Amino acid sequence: MKSLEKLVRNGVLDINAWPTGKPIEEVQADLGLESLALMATNENPLGPSPKAVEAIQAESHKVNRYPQGPCTYLKRKVAAKLGIGEEMITFSNGADNCLRIIGYTFLNSGDEVVVGHPSFPVYGFVARVMGAVPVEVPLSNHIHDLKAMAEKIGPPTKLVFVCNPNNPTGTIVKRAELDAFVKALPDHVVLILDEAYFEFVDDEEYPNALDYIKEGRNVVALRTFSKLYGIAGLRIGYTLASPELTSVMERVREPFPVSRVAEAAAFGAVDDDEFKSKVLANNEESKKFLYAQFDRLGLTYPRTHANFMFVDLKIDAKKAAQSLLEQGYLIRPGTLWKHPTFARITFGTMEENRGFVTALAKVLGR
């Protein structure tokens, strides 16, 4: 075989593959754990929406047929709930794949992409895949520094990513600051507002990407059914944008981007208000409990607006994560974001949260 440099596209060998590990079931068996609390990947600890499960069961006998590519029925329902036109929505195989669609649509080799750091790593991954250059701007007090990001925007800039609430910090950029940022953006730049966790925010100053889109701004919003609705395993997310931007993104999406089962589950989950209320109540109770416990343990953290927290454990977080794993609690150490003493901790059930704090206290020697 010829050398890979002669076979693959320029830049691909400079990209690190997305980190993977053993299946959770194997980890649990290897460690002899009766249970394993998954507090690493921002999943819904209460499981999927019951209405989603019902819809999955009803749709399962139809999987011999291809899905309806544009997700017509789900698009109608979501558009009606948001008060927008169907031509402003594109569905795809999770928000991650929506990011790929954005890359395919807007990025040329050599373009620059301005991103906050630490934030969702897939932004930089998509940029590199397309031959674009990520320009990282450090957060300020764990929040996107929009003034510093604006200073990095120039003629080569094509996209700017703002994760709001931000993953992994859980912090938000507030309306007044984002208003000024959006108004000052050059016409050749598209702002991507990642709102994967927007349902968890309870702050009057939190901006809604749809407001900018309705004004005709070059803004694309990302949303997902993975978090609040508890169907991360089915992979379904969507973009919101002007009809003009949506029409070009539709040109590069896959012919069948969402499975029949995923669309049916999302269609059912959208109306499950009882389940949503339970999830949000658990999230609020978890947040208050963990704030108090981390304060007791002398740990520091930014206030979160999501379903997770970014906590400074004051020790090597990778070693702490291994010790916690051996006690049955899986968390995400901050090494992924070059924050070696931090960990991102997803809220669990209250039983899981209490057990986690007990385990963490042992690791910290408190």
pLDDT at 12: 86
d(CA 333, CA 355): 18
Contacting residues for 12 by C-beta, under 8 A, at least 6 apart = 129
**What are the φ and ψ backbone dihedral angles of 142, each rounded to 5 degrees?**
70, 10
3-state helix, strand, coil in the chain (%, to 5): 45, 15, 40
**Which one-letter amino acid corresponds to residue 211?**
D
d(CA 17, CA 6): 19
pLDDT at 110: 96
0.75 cut: is pTM over it? yes
319 — alpha (psi -120 to 50), left (phi > 0) or beta? alpha
CA-closest candidate to residue 46, choices 280, 261, 310: 280
| Calculated CA dihedral for residues 198, 204, 207, 209, nearest 10 degrees | 50
DSSP state of 165: S
**Which one-letter amino acid corresponds to residue 305?**
H
pLDDT at 1: 53
Per-residue pLDDT of the chain (366 residues), as tens digits, is: 568 888 988 888 888 888 777 899 999 999 999 999 999 999 999 999 999 999 999 999 999 999 988 999 999 999 999 999 999 999 999 999 999 999 999 999 999 999 999 999 999 999 999 999 999 999 999 999 999 999 999 999 999 999 999 999 999 999 999 999 999 999 999 999 999 999 999 999 999 999 999 999 999 999 999 999 999 999 999 999 999 999 999 999 999 999 999 999 999 999 999 999 999 999 999 999 999 999 999 999 999 999 999 999 999 999 999 999 999 999 999 999 999 999 999 999 999 999 999 999 999 997
CA-closest candidate to residue 164, choices 131, 129, 123, 217: 123
d(CA 363, CA 342): 14
| ∠ CA 66-239-114, rounded to 5° | 130
d(CA 114, CA 117): 10
pLDDT at 177: 98
Q: Could you give all domains of the chain from N- to C-terminal order, each with its CATH number?
A: 4-47+273-364 (3.90.1150.10), 50-269 (3.40.640.10)
pLDDT at 98: 98
pLDDT at 90: 98
**What are the φ and ψ backbone dihedral angles of 251, each rounded to 5 degrees?**
-70, -25
CA-closest candidate to residue 158, choices 121, 99, 110: 110
